[in-house]
A and B are shown apart, each in its own frame.
Chain A
């Protein structure tokens, strides 16, 4: 038995096996080094997301090439292997339809670039900062510090709002004032408030729209612009200042009101207090 084993050791097969394993081990190192070098070379030209894609892509491509040539060295017939892989991939495709769809969606997302890592996006009711864009899903950190994983397929299918794409944002304030108020004066008061708030941009100018005659109030829209980072600060400060200015100018923000009419016959009102008063 040992003789047979020694005989096998001397065979060509062992030599090829050794060569193949050397190739694969070398492949690991070459792939690692090449991907690192590529990442370094493209660091200044690509953002973090694309740089990560280059790194992973180059690593797996080089490794696959070395693996294929290693298998070839061992005498595997690659056309048979590829044929088997084809049949296998159909089976895997059926089994992992969702994953495949997510991967394809992920590729579309990468080429379309609707957002990058660090952007704040909103999908449906979920809003948060993008912390990773991966092959299958996008990871978000919501403002209440929760980790949310959104499949790429969902992102491709649904409406995504990128809240940090542009440097300035508009705040729309919906304000109702009483019917007795002078709308021109209300407009002047609000414009003065906007002018006095340093966070409110002078250009683009604040926008005033008389929306409609509401049930209980004259409905107005007052829109002001802020730098993206100051959005919440301005939203808070300007609403407080508008309320203060309205109070100072006696401008009423009415509650919902309903007028009741009694119909054909007037309602009879009887004061019971006097009748029941003891003698």
Chain B
């Protein structure tokens, strides 16, 4: 699976992902939305040095750059070394979605009246994975911007550890800012119950979603549909098998980290998907 991804990653002109070639003793430095990453190749070793931006630091929008040059490992907080018999010249950088569900809180809580349907565009943080030439397991798998932890569940005794993300809950695609380190998920919310559905927090099943890129270089996931059942206690989650229909020339970039068992439809307790 991963190998296929590694070989067919499209090289969009604005894309920060894709294969990179390095000669021995060469260092590639990448600055991506506040993430500072340096990759060094030795005869038997790949070295990675990186600094992630803080949770709330605002990175320059839409910018990334790379250059070859010398590296001073002391300038970076995190480092990782991988040993090989012989290193190959190429590495592949692949975007991925979060490894835990992402809890999106609209800046203002939204209400969905009974029998209404609404489509929200929710963005979630993107991870950066680096694969060696023949690698199936990523050497490096780090968030571009570290998201804050949060707890999602009915009580402090039961629930799930997730990442927190603020969203404006844009209803129109024109208002969604395009950022290379965020992936957009169209979320269709249907309220079949006879009371208002107050959306304070939505759990986005990021580990179960695939990643696509559109013609503008923006990252997308499949559309998900959250439907509140008529009894109000249960909700169903459905993940489309196709990229969102509104994308033109969507290219598949990465598989989900884990697939939902059996079908793409999951019925869960209401409190597992909404809050």
**A residues with CB within 8 A of B:** 166-168, 195-204, 225-227, 230
Contact = CB atoms under 8 A, between A and B. Distances in A.
Contacts of B146: 198
B152 A167 contact: no
Interface in B137-155: 146-152
B200 to A, nearest CB: 10
A197 B56 CA distance: 9
A167 B54 contact: no
Contacts, number: 50
Contacts of B161: 167-168, 227
A196 B156 contact: no
9 contacts: A166-B156, A167-B161, A168-B156, A201-B148, A201-B151, A203-B151, A204-B156, A225-B151, A226-B149
B184 interface: no
A154 B158 CA distance: 30
Contacts of A197: 55, 148
B73 interface: no
Contacts of A198: 55, 146-149
Interface string B104-123: 00000000000000000000
Contact of A203 (B147, B150, B158): B150
Interface string B150-175: 11100011110100100000000000
A230 B148 CA distance: 13
B147 A204 contact: no
A196 B56 contact: yes
A225 B55 CA distance: 16
Nearest to A229: B161
Contacts of A226: 149
B103 interface: yes
A227 to B, nearest CB: 5
A61 B258 CA distance: 47
A196 B164 contact: no
Contacts of B159: 167-168
Tell which of A196, A201, A203 has the most Cβ of chain B within 10 Å: A203
B55 A201 contact: no
Given A166-B157, A203-B164, A195 B55 contact: yes
B136 to A, nearest CB: 28
A200 B149 contact: yes
A203 B54 contact: no
A238 to B, nearest CB: 13
Given A195-B56, A195-B148, A202-B148, 19 more contacts: A166-B157, A167-B157, A167-B158, A167-B161, A168-B156, A198-B55, A198-B146, A198-B148, A198-B149, A199-B149, A201-B151, A202-B150, A203-B151, A203-B164, A203-B201, A204-B156, A225-B151, A225-B156, A230-B149
A227 B54 contact: no
Nearest to B200: A203
A236 B149 CA distance: 17
Nearest to A194: B148
A245 B38 CA distance: 30
Contact of B164 (A166, A202, A227): A202
Nearest to B56: A196
B56 A227 contact: no
Contacts of A168: 151, 156, 159, 161
B147 to A, nearest CB: 7
